[in-house]
Structures are given as structure tokens and as C-alpha cells.
Amino acid sequence: MNPFRTNPMRRVLLGTVATVSGVTALLALKPHTQTAVALPQTAASPTTPSAGASSPASASPSASSSTKSTKGTKGTKGTTTTKTVTGDTIQTRYGPVQVQITLKAGKLSAVNVLQVPQDNPRDAEIAQYSVPVLTQEALAAQSASINSVSGATYTSQGYISSLQSALDKSGN
Amino acid sequence: MIQNSRAGRRLAMRRIRPRRSPAVPLVVLAWLGAAVVMWMWWNNTPNVVGTANQLIAAGRITGLLGAYTIALVIAQMARVPALESRVGSDRVARWHAMSGRYAISLVVAHVVLTIWGYSEVSKTGVVSEAVTVVTDYPDMLMALAGTLMLLIVGFVSAGALRRRMRYETWYYLHLLTYAAVFLTFWHQLTTGAEFIASATARTAWYALYLTVAGLVVWYRVLTPVRLNLRHRMRVEATVVEAPGIVSVLISGRKLHRLGAEAGQFFRWRFLTPGLRWSANPYSLSAPPRPGLLRITVKAVGGHSSALGTLKPGTRVWAEGPYGALTAARRSRGKVLLLAGGAGITPMRALFETLPAAPGDLTLLYRAKSTEDLALWRELKAIAKERGARLMYAVNGPDGSRPEITPDGLKARLPDIDRHDVYLCGPPGLAAEWFHTLREAGVPERRIHHESFEL
């Protein structure tokens, strides 16, 4: 309060130290590993038996169970069909994302991205590095229960939601 | 004669009612706001993975905090009465200077961290990334222009440069801040992840900035316009009080309705060539009377020196009243007023109006010589009427300075530690007195002072 006592240098130093440590603490408290993101869009998609996997928080166990059930269907029918299903267009902050999946004998064999934000160089950059990672993960998991790519949270969310809707439509 | 006014006597009859300064609750509120802003970031950020994202996240945090601080910085200068008259214009001005510097540091950190982080993600050079960010993201050209303006304002406010600049130049450059804030506002909403994600956050941000804009328009534009339309002030006369000290008498309508208290000041603009473009703060040197105000000014700068040449009838534009060095500050019956040179101005008004029993009020007036004791005759008349003590200290004939020591003060006022002390004088002297008073046993919270040193 008292203007005769202020020491500007001390105040500057204090402010700097407090701010830097505050920001560092905030960053340190946040998880440093990738976590699956919540997907508000999936809640709206039609509930199918395999929709247990639609909640991205429920990770591998339910995902693998849905994969097993797919294999079971394939086994009884004994047919090897190739099916292409287009997912919903998901609006993200930076633009729409839409994927198309290819199912061979009920198994997810390819994910094709129809739309992804790439109007500006940065969006394109993000799409360029995130889409291959997402596709790889999706094929490995055989579901939409995959982690989002860091630095591409919104593209990932859109991708995962669209993928989920495609899987739902395919009736797996 | 302006002393012995009925208004002054009425004021002197009031009960002593100390008012608490709202400074502490306001500071707490400001910190709570900062916590809410941080919570917005926290809520919207699922994780922070890798160095690049840590940089970007730090950039977001500093950006959010910077934008929040800038809103406070503007609000602090909106001349809100609660801030000006209860916290004190001087203290708020120091808050403003401090948070202004902090805001600019945060903005610089925000720019550096964000561009650095983005360039790490995209594996491009910092410069090309900066160009990309400015040209490809919405509203970023505006934000760039605004940030440059902010930097200019920050640069000219830095101590060394400020002192070398004319006050008016500095002041008008400072007005760029409004444009800068307007220009940088939009990119926050269109690129800020926190705002794109949540309509609530957007609404809160609009509310914050619109409130601040409303305060500025109301208290810096509409209130002064209304005041001057209502009171229509003009210069009545100028009086030389002492070598280099001049009083300006200002007439107007219903001036007792201004709500000005002894110890407060207005920002004065005299509508005459050369003075029109600057508004300077001068304290009232007498309690306001229905048709008359008086300021007493020492010629130190271009503005104050020109006041002696003001012609009667010159129109006056005033903004105020501001300042918290009023009767509301004191907590006890006994009061010591310490005035140095032209610092007598607010002390003179307080001397007449501070409620005090005979013998409870003392004024010590320090000047170079007895000739420099401006307003001395008035002070003597007031002292006589109120039964107050009046003392002066001047340099000896050989130019030696009178020593005002803790022991000297205690010898004159044995119960000085039970006094409220108001002091006003040139910065060096005021600081010296402050330490003397502390040594004499006056608690810090009872030393009331306004200093416009930032």
C-alpha cells in the first residue's frame, strides 16, 4: 500500500517467478499422456449391440469383444464380402470430418478420409500427420476406441466420431 | 475571501466516521477472476503431450491471463468513483501501471510461446510459422496491429522515456490502448480454443469487455459531459499567493453540488490556446462554495506556469472530484497536517473542514522562506477561529534546512502516535516525512498520503 516502501525490482522479480511457476505447475498437473477424448457426437448415433464400444472411455476390453462378435458372424455365414460404409459428417471447430470404411469379411480393412479441414496450411499440416496415425490405430483396434493424436485433438475427435458412425451403420 | 465559508463550517461539524477502503475486496475479486480464467483453460484442455504442446498450452494460459489483465488495466483507468475516491486515485494509478506492465509481459510471452509451439508442431522455422499464423488465422492481422500498438504504449510508458516526453504526447499515445484492445479482442474469440468450445465462455468474455467498455464510456465520457453542462465553469480571477504560486478562482453554477470534498482534486482543462489539450490534476485549496471553487498551483511545468496568465471568463472543463485524501481517511480525533510548499493546497482545505475539537488539529507548513508561505493569512484566520495549532518551518537565512526530526515532532506533539497524519509535499520530502513519522511512532495505517509517482 505504502508508496514509499515499494521496491520495483523486487516486485518484477516476484511477478515473474510467480507467473512462471504458476504456468509450469498448471502444465505439470495436466496428464502428459494421450487420453481418449470424450465424444459428444457418438451419443447421438443409433445404439447397436456393438455400441458398447462407442464410449471411447471404455477401451480395449469392450472393443475386443465387439471384434470377436464380428468374427463370429463371419464364421457362421462363411462368406467373404467387401462392404463400404460412409460415416457421418462430423463438424469440428476447424471444419467437417468424414470417413469411409471398408469392411472385408466383417473386418475393418481400410479407412478412407473423405473430408478433413485443410483450407489453410496449418490445418493441412495437422491432417497430414494425424490422419495416418489415426488410421493405423483404427485398423489395429478394429474399432473407434482409439486415442486422439496430440496437437490434432479436433481432427481426431471428428475422425473417431465419423468412424464410429460408419461402424454402427455397417451393423457390426 | 474564500475562507470562513458556511459550507466549510458545516463540513467541520460532521461526525468522525472512518470509511474502509474497498481495496482488499477488489484485489481479492481480481484474483478470483484470474482463477476463473485459468479454470476455463483447465476445463478445456484434456492433456498436454510433448514439448510443442506444452509451449502452446503455456501460450494459451499467458494469452488468456493477458487478455484478462488488460480488461482490468482499462477498468482501473475508467475513473470509477469507488476507485478514485475510496481506494485513491494515486493507488489506482499505481495498480494501473503495475498491471499494465504485467499485461504487456504476458502478451509478449503469449506471442512468443504460441508461435514457437506451433513451429515445433509443424517443424517449420519460427519466422515462417509467424507469417503463417498471422496470414492464415482469422482476425490475426487485427491482432498483430493491436499488439504492436500495445507495445508502443508500453514502450513510451517505460520510466526513462516517459520523463523525457511531453505529458500530452504521452497521454494521447496512451489512448491507442483502446484501439489496441479492440483490435486484439476478436482473435481471442475466433482462434481461442476455450472460446470456440464454449458459448458460456464467449458470453463471459463479452460480458467482461462490455462491462469495462461501459465503465469507460460512462465515467470518462458521459459523466464529465454531464458535469460540465450542468455547472458551466469559467475562470473568475487569478491571484498570486506567493512567488511562483498562483490561485485560480473558478465560478460556476451550483458548485456545492459537485460533491467535492476537501482534499480532493479535479482534472482541469482550460479552454484557451495552449492549454486546451491537456487536463491536469490540481487540488481544491478551499472547500467548494455554491458559486466558487479555488485551486492553488505552483508553477513547475508548462501547464502550471501558464495558469497565471488565464483571462477571466475563460471556459473551464473539469473532471472529478477524484482523490481519497479526505476526512473519510482519518480514524481518530487528533489530526496533524503536514504540508510542503505547494502541497499546502489540499491541506488548506482540510484545515478548514476536518471535524476536530479545538486543540486537536495541527498544521505544520514547510516552505523555503516566510515569503513562500502561500495562503498564510487564511491559515492564521482559520487557526484562530477553530482553535487549531499552526506552525511553520522555513530555511534559515543562510539557506540551512530546518530539521524535522522524530524527537522534534514528539516535543511539539507528545501524543503524536495517537494522531492521524495527512501529508502532502514534493515526493522527496514526503518520503522523508513518512520515515520521520514512522520513527516518531505513528502507525503506517494512520499516515495518509497521495503520491502520483508511479
Does A73 contact chain B (CB < 8 Å)?
no
Using the predicted structure, report yes or no on whether residue A54 has a pLDDT greater than 50.
Answer: no
**Which range among A56-70, A114-128, B303-317 shows the weakest confidence by mean pLDDT?**
A56-70
| CA distance to B20, B103, B133, B325, B403, per residue, from B392 (Å) | 32, 45, 66, 21, 12
Range B274-303 burial, b when 16+ CB lie within 10 A, else e: ebeebbbbbbbbbbbbeebbbbbbbbeeeb
Query: Inter-chain contact A27–B57, Cβ cutoff 8 Å?
Result: yes
pLDDT (average), residues B73-96: 92
Query: Inter-chain contact A122–B98, Cβ cutoff 8 Å?
Result: no
CA separation for the pair B112, B127 (Å, rounded): 11
> How high is the pLDDT of residue B179?
96
Residues from chain A contacting residue B105 (CB–CB below 8 Å): 15-16
CA separation for the pair A102, A111 (Å, rounded): 6
Confidence of residue A67 (pLDDT cuts 50, 70, 90): very low
Does A13 contact chain B (CB < 8 Å)?
no
Residues from chain B contacting residue A19 (CB–CB below 8 Å): 62, 65, 106
CA separation for the pair B344, B394 (Å, rounded): 14
Taking the CA of residue B386 and the nearest CA in chain A, the distance in Å comes to 31
CA separation for the pair A8, B238 (Å, rounded): 40
Residues from chain A contacting residue B56 (CB–CB below 8 Å): 151
Query: Inter-chain contact A3–B94, Cβ cutoff 8 Å?
Result: yes
The x, y and z cell numbers of residue B372, run together, are 513562500
Q: What is the pLDDT of residues B311-340, one digit of tens each?
A: 999 999 999 899 999 998 888 789 999 999
Taking the CA of residue B365 and the nearest CA in chain A, the distance in Å comes to 21
pTM: 0.78
What percent of chain A is helix, strand and coil (3-state, nearest 5)? 50, 15, 35
Q: Which residues pair with A85 in a beta bridge?
A: A101
CA separation for the pair A111, A150 (Å, rounded): 20
φ, ψ of residue B152 in degrees (nearest 5): -60, -45
Q: Return contacts of A82-86, CB within 8 angstroms, 24+ apart.
A: A82/A109, A83/A170, A85/A166, A85/A167, A85/A169, A85/A170, A86/A114, A86/A166, A86/A169
Parallel, antiparallel, or unpaired: how do β-strands B292-298 and B280-283 relate? unpaired
Work out whether the CA dihedral B400, B406, B410, B416 comes out positive or negative: positive
Query: Inter-chain contact A33–B94, Cβ cutoff 8 Å?
Result: no
Average pLDDT, chain A: 73
Q: Are A150 and A63 in contact (CB under 8 A)?
A: no
pLDDT (average), residues B292-304: 84
Q: Is the peptide bond before B312 cis (omega within 30 degrees of 0)?
A: no
pLDDT (average), residues A144-159: 85
Using the predicted structure, report yes or no on whether residue A170 has a pLDDT greater than 90.
Answer: no
Taking the CA of residue B188 and the nearest CA in chain A, the distance in Å comes to 14
**Which range among B139-153, B249-263, B313-327, B440-454 shows the weakest confidence by mean pLDDT?**
B440-454
Does A1 contact chain B (CB < 8 Å)?
yes
Does A150 contact chain B (CB < 8 Å)?
yes
Dihedral of the CA atoms B268, B272, B278, B282 (nearest 10)? Answer: -30
Query: Inter-chain contact A30–B57, Cβ cutoff 8 Å?
Result: yes
Query: Inter-chain contact B47–A150, Cβ cutoff 8 Å?
Result: yes
> How high is the pLDDT of residue A48?
38
Q: How many CA atoms lie within 13 A of B15 on its CB side?
A: 2
Q: Which of A3, A125, A126 sits opposite B451 (nearest CB)?
A: A3
Q: What is the pLDDT of residues B130-170, one digit of tens each?
A: 998 898 788 999 999 999 999 999 888 876 777 788 877 88
Confidence of residue B2 (pLDDT cuts 50, 70, 90): low
Helix axes B23-44, B199-216, angle to 10 degrees: 150
Parallel, antiparallel, or unpaired: how do β-strands B245-251 and A95-104 relate? unpaired
Residues from chain B contacting residue A6 (CB–CB below 8 Å): 94
Report which of A137, A162, A169, A167 is spatially closest to residue A67, judged by C-alpha positions.
A167
Using the predicted structure, report yes or no on whether residue B39 has a pLDDT greater than 60.
Answer: yes
Q: Which of A12, A16, A33 sits opposite B49 (nearest CB)?
A: A33
Residues of chain B above pLDDT 90, percent:
57
Confidence of residue A37 (pLDDT cuts 50, 70, 90): very low
CA separation for the pair A24, B61 (Å, rounded): 10
φ, ψ of residue B240 in degrees (nearest 5): -80, 120
- Residues with Cβ within 8 Å of residue B347, at least 6 apart in sequence: B337, B338, B339, B363, B365, B422, B424
**Which range among A102-111, B41-50, B208-217 shows the weakest confidence by mean pLDDT?**
B41-50
Q: To which H or E segment does residue B16 belong?
A: none
Average pLDDT, chain B: 89
The x, y and z cell numbers of residue B347, run together, are 491541506
Nearest residue of A to residue B136, measured between CA atoms: A120
> How high is the pLDDT of residue A62?
36
Taking the CA of residue B34 and the nearest CA in chain A, the distance in Å comes to 12
Taking the CA of residue B232 and the nearest CA in chain A, the distance in Å comes to 36
> How high is the pLDDT of residue B251?
95
Q: Which of A32, A33, A151 sits opposite B52 (nearest CB)?
A: A151
Query: Inter-chain contact B197–A23, Cβ cutoff 8 Å?
Result: no
Residues from chain B contacting residue A125 (CB–CB below 8 Å): 121-122
Could you report the predicted ipTM of this complex, rounded to two decimals? 0.79
Q: What is the pLDDT of residues B376-392, one digit of tens each?
A: 999 999 999 999 999 99
> How high is the pLDDT of residue B440?
92
Parallel, antiparallel, or unpaired: how do β-strands A95-104 and A90-92 relate? antiparallel
CA separation for the pair B163, B301 (Å, rounded): 12
Size of interface A-B (CB pairs under 8 A): 86
Confidence of residue A47 (pLDDT cuts 50, 70, 90): very low
Taking the CA of residue B58 and the nearest CA in chain A, the distance in Å comes to 6
End-to-end Cα separation, chain A, in angstroms: 69
Q: What is the pLDDT of residues A73-121, one digit of tens each?
A: 444 444 568 888 999 988 877 788 999 999 988 889 999 999 888 766 6
Nearest residue of A to residue B90, measured between CA atoms: A3
Query: Inter-chain contact B38–A4, Cβ cutoff 8 Å?
Result: no
Q: Which of B48, B94, B102 sits opposite A32 (nearest CB)?
A: B48
> How high is the pLDDT of residue A61?
37
φ, ψ of residue A150 in degrees (nearest 5): -65, 140
Query: Inter-chain contact B41–A125, Cβ cutoff 8 Å?
Result: no
Query: Inter-chain contact A150–B118, Cβ cutoff 8 Å?
Result: no
